């Protein structure tokens, strides 16, 4: 891939990642199956809704170009908290959450440290 194609690829990654996380967050917030599964943690249901709302807001911010940094950092924090919550309850299926966090970090790295289009001399 050329350096010119990298911004387009990262933009596509940002959109796909943001929309997938948004869809998963909405499912987590409004699905009866998710509510039943979360009830197994012993935590009150409002915590599930608060986590889902935080993830929804972070995903929406991540999709807005001017707010990508804030949304990205928010997503990383929310995803790290989700991984921790899963592990504390012996739910070791955190692979997708880790991939989401890594992809968020990749998009964030490109925003924080843009790649120069100049050829090395």
- Give 13-68 pLDDT, tens digit per residue: 999 999 999 999 999 999 999 999 888 888 899 999 999 999 999 999 999 999 99
Decide: 38 and 31 in contact? Cβ < 8 Å.
no
What mean pLDDT, rounded, does the chain reach? 89
Mean pLDDT in residue range 78-92: 91
Task: Express the helix, strand and coil content of the chain in percent, nearest 5 each.
Answer: 80, 0, 20
Is the model's pLDDT at 101 over the cut of 60? Answer: yes
Q: Which two structure tokens, joined as six digits, stand for 88?
A: 């504390």
At residue 117, the pLDDT reads 55
Average pLDDT over residues 109-116: 72
Tokens matching residue 67: 């707010």
Check residue 111 and give its pLDDT. 76
CA 117 to chain centre: 28
Give the pLDDT mean for 66-91. 93
Given phi > 0 = left and psi -120 to 50 = alpha, else beta, which region is 21? alpha
């Amino acid at each position: 891939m050329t350096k010119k194609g990298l911004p387009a690829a990262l933009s596509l990654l940002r959109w796909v990642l943001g929309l997938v996380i948004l869809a998963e967050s909405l499912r987590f917030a409004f699905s009866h199956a998710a509510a039943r599964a979360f009830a197994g943690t012993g935590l009150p249901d409002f915590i599930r809704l608060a986590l889902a709302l935080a993830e929804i807001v972070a995903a929406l911010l991540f999709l807005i170009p001017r707010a990508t940094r804030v949304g990205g950092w928010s997503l990383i924090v929310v995803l790290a908290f989700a991984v921790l919550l899963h592990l504390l309850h012996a739910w070791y299926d955190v692979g997708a959450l880790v991939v989401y966090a890594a992809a968020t970090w990749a998009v964030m790295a490109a925003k924080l440290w843009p790649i120069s289009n100049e050829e090395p001399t």
